[in-house]
Chains A and B, each alone.
Chain A
Amino acid sequence: MGAIEHGLVFSLMALGVFLTLRALDFPDISVDGSLPLGAAVSALLITKGYDQFLSVAAAALAGFGAGAITALLNTKLKILNLLAGILTMIGLYSINLRVMGMPNIPLLGYDTVFTPLESMGIPPQVASIGLFATFTVLVCVFLVWFFHTDIGLALRATGDNLKMVKAQGVNTDRMIFFGVALSNAFVAMSGALVAQSLGFADVNMGIGTVVAGLASVIVGEAVLSSSTVLKAVVGVVVGSMIYRLAVAYALSVELGPIKLSPGDLNLITAIIVVIALTFPGVRKKLGGLRS
């Protein structure tokens, strides 16, 4: 139950990673910074007395801006996409500290997006799963729709065949801008919801976001074929849940005298990604939308 909740919480983030990594073929590391950015913006606004739903929208907007910076570093200043993401990520660390004014903002006692449901007598965990499921379904529906619009088609083709889209009159810089900004908006939105669900925003909560997102995308592709956009998008959500289950299981394993702790999470994630990438059947499916 906890793992499924966790999987849903982070599936929004994974969908964002999917958008850049698979559709656009842009490995965007700035999400490690935009997740806590979303959390920070949301937490700040809530503690300042603004509406909790408004704070989620503001977080998404902030994420859009962060993604826009990464995209512009890449397209206008011709900085390698990986490096552009890293630069935005470390820059965001300082910005997140500035936004929050401290490394951590507790949200206990404040109204969150879950409060209205909980006040209706719905148990907290059910409320949280219901709300995250709703957000996830909405984003999935949006993405499936988006990927079939003129701009969505051009965006998918940008990640597939740069030469072709340019020859077809697509401004690829514009596609990268839209894709990366939108992706970071989803991730920041995810960050805002995670913070409200956990009851705090923390400047370090974004570490490993991109790798976790990558793991979800790859696991999803291994489970569900990504032959259509719908399957690929649903696959990311399923992948996110399976990934969290795998992590939960891994953390419960005792290796002789060593008992794994949450501190080992990043190592476990890295190992899961390596296994997923090298497993032959999975490798064949790599390329996702593009193969």
Chain B
Amino acid sequence: MIELQNIKKVFNAGTVNENIAIQGIDLKIEKGDFITVIGSNGAGKSTMLSIVAGFQTPDGGRVLFGDKDITKVPEYKRAEYIGVVFQDPLSGTAKSLSIEENMAIAAKRGTKRWFRRGVNSKNRKYFAERLKELGLGLEERLKANAGLLSGGQRQSLTLLMAAMANPEMLLLDEHTAALDPKTAELVMNLTDKLIKDMGLTAMMVTHNMKQALDFGNRIIMMHEGQIILDIKGEEKQGLTIPDLLGMFEKVRGVGITDDKLLLSK
């Protein structure tokens, strides 16, 4: 559904701080995929997600949505088919707007905004129904400002908002990393439920290997701006952390000997 073709991204090109974040990534995201992305700091995980979301433009390669080239389409236009949840729980909602007003903004994603009343009795009822699914009692606090909510509540609301207006794809950028373990678990289970219930295609960047293994049908490991592992389907089921670490060592090891072999020939 979304495809990355030979994506390259370099930060501070031509300076002493030059940093090659992504070097030639090809990735085909199939409809219904729930991909978890792991890798060490600076592996390029978040940069790849930003390129899919449109927050950043690649320096080379193409981003395809279906057969449409969306490489240069700005983020706010991609929001029509892509929902995003960021790591910072405060960054997904507007604190001075009420819960229902925040949801009204999300509900209008992908449509023109003009002078119709943002929150009316009809969509308020819908918002309350959706909030009930969270099981946090937020449906009783529709008129409370989002700024009054806890981090976990705000992240849950953000998640719901990202999944509103029927996006084709949900992008999660370490969205539980800033929460305490219990809340993180709650938000993660909620994420999984939403993705399954709504049949969403999703990509989740995480630092947590266990999370990456427990959820999704496909796991991608990144290293130094490249995808070094892409395991899906049955092969992913039953995969453990030691397996993953072993594979990582192996891939890196083989990679190096391969280089040596190539050079010696």
A-to-B contact residues, CB < 8 Å? 146, 148-154, 156-157, 160-161, 163-172, 227, 287, 289-291
Contacts and interface: CB of A to CB of B under 8 A. Distances in A.
Given A149-B116, A149-B118, A163-B86, A156 B94 contact: yes
A167 B94 contact: no
Interface string B219-244: 00000000000000000000000000
Contact of A163 (B91, B97, B145, B147): B91
11 contacts: A149-B116, A149-B118, A151-B114, A151-B115, A154-B105, A156-B101, A157-B102, A167-B92, A169-B109, A170-B105, A291-B147
Interface string B239-258: 00000000000000000000
A172 B75 CA distance: 11
B31 interface: no
A54 B184 CA distance: 60
Q: In terms of DSSP, what is the predominant structure of the interface of chain B?
A: loop
Given A150-B116, A161-B91, A168 B106 contact: yes
Between B94, B95, B114, the greatest number of chain A beta carbons within 10 A of the residue's beta carbon is seen for B94
Classify chain B's interface size: 35 or more
Contacts, number: 94
B119 interface: yes
Interface stretch (B34-42, B62-70, B76-84): B76-84
Q: In terms of DSSP, what is the predominant structure of the interface of chain A?
A: helix
Contact of A148 (B93, B96, B119): B119
Contact of A164 (B53, B94, B115, B117): B94
Contact of B95 (A160, A168, A169, A171): A160
Interface of B: 53, 75-77, 79-80, 83-84, 86, 91-97, 101-102, 104-106, 108-110, 113-119, 145, 147, 161-162
Contacts of B80: 169
* Most chain B CB atoms below 10 A, which of A153, A156, A157: A153
A170 B97 contact: no
